[in-house]
Structure 1
């Protein structure tokens, strides 16, 4: 059963918001567009795994995507976490093309493509650190620990995988996506004992979902950008210009004449991503280019944001109940 669905990665949301908010001729746009394309390809690779997950019995496996959990002063992230009564599995998903070479001596991953070599950090070390952090966090949460396995999955079937050593750890811990179910079946044969009861499974589910803390604000901005370089106001969903003005409970574009009831929702979403982790009535007036504090107050009331404080000191924070017009 999918207990936590896959969502659009935070950095994809940030890149998309930057491209909405940067002037068309800003010199950083090509770099951001390239980064966004790379990240979307990676996300597409993760989505391709959903086909294989659909073959896992709902009553045996709980699946969690995109977990971000605080352990002490630090956070750790897991692409996909699969939990059963017999064992748990941490998946690190890679969507990298070319020939991938695992160097077991220097513990690094090298990609050869178009005659060029590029080095990456060792994904095996990455998932091992995730395992250490997960175990430490679970103990602090008084969760019963099943055996925990790790696996690096390459979602692009054309990727060539090579290693510098004889078949060993990389053969066990790295695979293409089409071998994922086979790997899970092998683990089922190894771990046949129930380490967790149904009650333990429910506790894991509750604590994982309560502890998951997705990012909602980027600070500092990537690409050495400053908020002063970004456009403010409400973007027209038709012509994409920042010419919208509030008239008769709607947003009206002074450039193309289009109307929208809720174009401000995307603007507020961009604000949380790029400008500041909280809003005030005054900040919203300045950001949306509106003069009326009463109008700003009504707009904030309709967004279902989390609140703290009273009257002029009230602050509004991103809430899971808030959805922008994507």
Structure 2
């Protein structure tokens, strides 16, 4: 039974917006562009894993939770966690093609692509071990004792494992049902009622992770970003505010509410709060009154009393 589906990939959304507002000549442009495409590849891989659990079921009581963010001795995020009365399994999905070598001392993943170029990634084994430790501590804090295993799920069809991992299995996403069915079920650690109570507690403890503002995360000066309201169809920044709405200076398209997306981008990219002056500068408008009206028209949290100290926050 799938208890929690996957939520929006907020890191990818942030990278998309950051990539769009960075000038082509910016020193971080290539890196952000690359990270954006890697994040998208990860999403595609996770969708394949989701499809497996949507298609198959198991001959025993189980719960599946995708994209879980919890906190014990630290915050941690799990791609997919599978619980039964007998055990739990952390599934770490990797959408990486090419020839893979799981190296030890130090633990890292090497990938050789079709052109022979070798890239190095953080070892999925390290990620799984960290998540298992933190999840086990979270379970103990909630009075649950159950063995937790881990498996690396390879979701790219063009993958070949040259050196397999030593501590955790690596499997193709199509074989997830076989792998889970073959884990021995010798002892029930929790009852069916406790299993579903556990899934409810995980849902209640889950805290969606917002990796914002992106400029802080990537060490980018907000002054380096292109400002203004963008009409996406023309990919043009600098829509002009007139009485009939926002006008695209390239094609003349008019949109009355496109400023809302631009203001949301401020919170994703630049800061937790925005004031009137910042709004005017970011949207390229001169009127204090117009900026105030636009901010007040959105469902934002307003703080401060005097005009000079009023700030607005986004309700995540």
TM bin (shorter chain): 0.7 to 0.9
Instruction: State the partner residue of 1:48.
Output: 48
Q: What is the aligned residue count?
A: 312
The answer for the alignment partner of 2:272 in structure 1 is 277
Counterpart of 2:98?
98
Structure 2 residue aligned with 1:186: 182
* CA apart distance, 1:45: 1.3
Q: Determine the C-alpha separation between the residues in 1 that align with 2:195 and 2:246.
A: 51
Shift of the alpha carbon at 1:105?
5.7
Q: Quick one: structure 1 residues 70 and 265, their matched pair in 2 at CA, closer, same or farther if it must change by over 3 Å?
A: farther
Cα pair distance change 1:143/1:46, threshold 3 Å: same
Q: Assess if the C-alpha contact under 8 Å between 1:279 and 1:316 holds in 2.
A: yes
SS in 1 for 2:55: coil
TM (norm. structure 1) is: 0.82
Does the Cα contact within 8 Å between 1:143 and 1:203 map onto a contact in 2?
A: no
Q: Could you say if the C-alpha distance between residues 14 and 88 of structure 1 is closer, same or farther in structure 2, counting changes exceeding 3 Å?
A: same
After TM superposition, give the deviation of residue 206 of structure 1 in Å. 4.1
The CA distance in 2 between the partners of 1:213 and 1:48, in whole Å, is: 22
Q: Which runs of 5+ in 2 are unaligned?
A: none
Is 1:213 matched with 2:214? no
Point out the more displaced range, 93-102 or 300-309.
Answer: 300-309
* Structure 1 consecutive aligned stretches of length 4 or more whose deviation exceeds 6 Å: none
Gaps of 5+ in 1: 321-326
Per the alignment, do residues 315 and 57 of structure 1 end up closer, same or farther by CA in structure 2, a change over 3 Å counting? farther
Deviates more, 1:48-57 or 1:205-214: 205-214
CA distance in 2, matches of 1:158, 1:81: 25
Match of 1:246?
241
1:141-183 C-alpha deviation (Å, 9 max, x unpaired)? x242432221110001321113379xx644xx21111111111
**Equivalent in the alignment of 1:32:** 32
Structure-1 separation of matches of 2:279 and 2:17: 17
Q: Residues 47-196 of structure 1: matches in 2 within 5 Å?
A: 47-57=47-57, 60-72=61-73, 74-104=74-104, 106-113=106-113, 114-140=115-141, 142-163=142-163, 169-170=167-168, 173-187=169-183, 189-190=184-185, 193=188, 195-196=190-191
- Name the SS of the counterpart of 2:144 in structure 1: coil
RMSD between aligned residues: 3.0
**Conserved 8 A contact 1:65-1:78:** yes
